[in-house]
Amino acid sequence: LETLLAPKDFQGRRLLISAGPTREAIDPVRFITNPSSGKMGYAIARAAAMRGAVVTLVTGPTALTLPADVTCVPVTSAAEMATEVLERLEDADIIIKTAAVADFRPATAASRKVKKETADLNLPLERTQDILKALGERKGGRILVGFAAETHELDRFAAGKREAKNLDMIVGNLIGGADAGFGADTNRATFYFKDGRRETVDLMTKQALAHLLLDRVGRLMR
Ligand code: CTP
Ligand code: CA
C-alpha cells in the first residue's frame, strides 16, 4: 500500500546509495569496524525505489534484510566499497553516501591467525581512501549527498565536510542518546545546503527521514 501511495517523483532516476559499516581485516578472524547498522541507507534505498527510482545499494555487512526492487552489491572493506561505488558513478544521477566507512585499516593484514601468546598486538594503521571526496572531484552535474555523524560542533564539522567534499547537501546527525545515530530506528538531522542554508528537522523514524531527504534531493533535481 505504501508503494502504491508513494509519489513517483523519482521515476527513471538512477540512485547509487552506500550503507553500513566496513570491516578492515587484522587477520582472518579479527577486524576493525564501527557501530553502523545500515538502517538509514536501507531506508533511503527502499523509499527511493518506492518513488520510482532505479536503485543500486552498495552495502557493508549488516544484519538487515536486503530491500526488494533494489540492486544490492555487498562489500566488506573500504577498498572494496571504493571500487564498487566509483565504478558505478557514471551510471548514476544521484549518489547518497550514508556508509560509515572505516577511516583507518591495518597497514598489513596477517594471512594467518595471530596467536595471543605471541606478544601484545601493535597495529600500524593507514588511512583508507575518502570515497566521497573522490566522488566530489568527479561528480560533474550529478547530485551528491553525504552524511556526517558528530559528537560535538555539528554545524562546523558538517558544513566543513560539505564544502571540502564538494557536496550538494550533507545530512548532519548529532549522535549520543538512544534515539539518534548508530543502530537507532529514529534520527535527528540537520540538512546543510550549498547556498549556506541549513534546516533542522524533528526527531523521526529513519523511514520518515528518508522520504524527507528525498523531498530535498527532488528540489535539487529541478
Ligand atoms: N566517507 C567516505 N569515505 C571515507 C570516509 C567517509 O566516503 N573513507 C563519507 C561517509 O560515507 C560520509 C561522509 O564521508 O558520507 C562523512 O563521513 P565522516 O566519517 O563523518 O567524515 P570524515 O571525512 O571521515 O571525517 P572524520 O571521521 O574525521 O570526522
Ligand atoms: Ca570518518
Rounded CA-CA distance 17/99 in Å is: 8
In the predicted structure, residue 120 carries a pLDDT above the cut 90: no
- 100: Cβ contacts below 8 Å, ≥ 6 apart: 20, 21, 22, 34, 35, 36, 60, 149, 182
Q: How far is the CA of 169 from the centre of ligand 1 (A)?
A: 14
- Ion ligand 2: protein residues whose beta carbon lies under 5 Å: 103
**Residue from 34, 97, 173, 213 to probe ligand 1 pocket by mutation (most atoms less than 8 Å from CB):** 97
159 near 165, Cβ under 8 Å? no
Which residue among 34, 122, 173, 187 is the active-site one?
A: 34
Which set of grid coordinates corresponds to residue 113? Answer: 591467525
Which set of grid coordinates corresponds to residue 69? Answer: 526492487
**Ligand 1 within 6 A of 31 CB?**
no
Helices (H), ranges, the chain: 2-5, 39-50, 78-87, 131-138, 154-164, 206-221
Let me know the angle formed at the C-alpha of 2 by 9 and 172, rounded to the nearest 5 degrees. 65
pLDDT reported for residue 110 = 94
Q: How far is the CA of 73 from the centre of ligand 1 (A)?
A: 20
Taking the CA of 17 as reference, the closest ligand is 1
**Ligand 1 within 6 A of 161 CB?**
yes
Taking the CA of 128 as reference, the closest ligand is 1
**Residue from 131, 167, 175, 182 to probe ligand 1 pocket by mutation (most atoms less than 8 Å from CB):** 131
Of 206 and 182, the structure prediction assigns the larger pLDDT to 206
Q: How many CA atoms lie within 13 A of 18 on its CB side?
A: 30
> What is the average pLDDT across 57-63?
98
Q: Which residues are annotated as a binding site for CTP?
A: 103, 113, 147, 161, 165
Which set of grid coordinates corresponds to residue 23? Answer: 570491516
Ligand 1, atom 12, residue with closest C-alpha: 147
Rg of the chain (C-alpha set): 18
Nearest residue to 130 via CA among 155, 154, 166: 166
- 27: Cβ contacts below 8 Å, ≥ 6 apart: 109, 110, 111, 112, 113, 114
The label of the residue with cell 548529532 reads 174
**Ligand 1 within 6 A of 131 CB?**
yes
Q: Which domains does the chain have, with CATH numbers?
A: 2-106+125-221 (3.40.50.10300)
Residue 34: active-site member: yes
As for the ipTM of the complex, it is 0.99
Nearest residue to 135 via CA among 105, 182, 101: 101
Interval 68-110: pLDDT, tens: 899 999 999 999 999 999 999 999 999 999 999 999 999 999 9
Dihedral angle over CA of 183, 157, 139, 211, nearest 10: 40
Interval 1-27: pLDDT, tens: 777 778 899 999 999 999 999 999 999
101 near 125, Cβ under 8 Å? no
> What is the average pLDDT across 179-194?
89
pTM: 0.96
Q: What is the mean pLDDT of the chain?
A: 95
Taking the CA of 86 as reference, the closest ligand is 1
